[in-house]
Amino acid sequence: EVQLLESGGGLVQPGGSLRLSCAASGFSFRNYAMMWVRQAPGKGLEWVSGISGSGDSTYYADSVKGRFTISRGNSKNTMSLQMNSLRAEDTAIYYCARREGVIKSSAMDYWGQGTLVTVSS
Amino acid sequence: QSVLTQPPSVSGAPGQRVTISCTGSSSNIGAGYDVHWYQQLPGTAPKLLIYDNKNRPSGVPDRFSGSKSGTSASLAITGLQAEDEADYYCQSYGSNLSGWVFGGGTKLTVL
């Protein structure tokens, strides 16, 4: 059974940093690209970042480029999102998701339960 | 403002059919990229409902169907049930460096 479990969320002050993790199980992790998608309170879904199966290619939304860094450890079946210079507008539930195919436009077929990040003083 | 445009809300009575539209542009849906649909029940994570425009993952009832034409896509739900009350999101890929794009979401209310 595919499982994705996020952790690391919490309350942080504006300008602060936080590191999110996603632990994967039930599939061959290194064979799948992974994504971070966030959802601000009462709002819709917003893609944040993505990383290829090998970790060689990374992608960022303009809203987080230069502040967030995605990485993965295939030996430990984990993915991380280092978030720096956090802003109030980064407040959201952060979901990790698996991209099901090899092409970029493939669907996100499994999602974690999410971890809440609150940026506030 | 989302790259893909969805109606904020739709509603229907039990047993009826509803459709949710998703309008993009020549940079995403119109560029030939597939459209996917997700269902988000209240207080839960999104779940893949339709992939590659019209395909249903295992376990998704055939009451749900998807289609795509030009720069738009649609999700149809027939035989509406109370358990279908949820938020629905379309998603595609943007060729103009916008990456993975979502619609703003549509709240389905079963009357």
What torsion, rounded to 10 degrees, do the Cα atoms A53, A56, A61, A64 define? 110
The C-alpha of A110 sits at a distance from chain B's nearest C-alpha, in angstroms, of: 7
DSSP letters spanning B6-52: --SEEEE-TT--EEEEEE--TTTGGGT---EEEEE-TTS--EEEEBT
CB atoms closer than 10 angstroms to residue B7: 15
CB pairs under 8 A between A and B: 63
Q: How far apart are CA B31 and CA B41, in angstroms?
A: 30
Looking at residue A103, what is its pLDDT?
Answer: 87
A44–B89 C-beta distance less than 8 A = yes
Three-class secondary structure of residue A29 per DSSP: helix
CA distances from A99 to A24, A33, A37, A111, B48 (A): 13, 5, 12, 10, 11
**Do A45 and B93 count as a contact with CB atoms less than 8 A apart?**
no
Query: Are B105 and A46 inside 8 Å of each other by CB?
Result: no
Mind listing the pLDDT tens digit for each residue in A21-35?
Answer: 999 999 999 999 999
pLDDT digits (tens, 9 = 90+) for B17-53: 999 999 999 999 999 999 999 999 999 999 999 999 9
pLDDT digits (tens, 9 = 90+) for B69-106: 999 999 999 999 999 999 999 999 998 777 999 999 99
Cβ of A44 within 8 Å of Cβ of B104? The answer is yes
pLDDT for the residue numbered B45: 98
pLDDT at B95: 82
| 3-state secondary structure (DSSP) of residue B102 | strand
Which residues in chain A come in under a pLDDT of 50?
none
Q: Please report the pLDDT score of residue A19 as a whole number.
A: 98
* Identity of the amino acid at A96: C
- Residue A116 touches chain B, beta carbons under 8 Å: no
What's the pLDDT score for residue A108?
A: 98
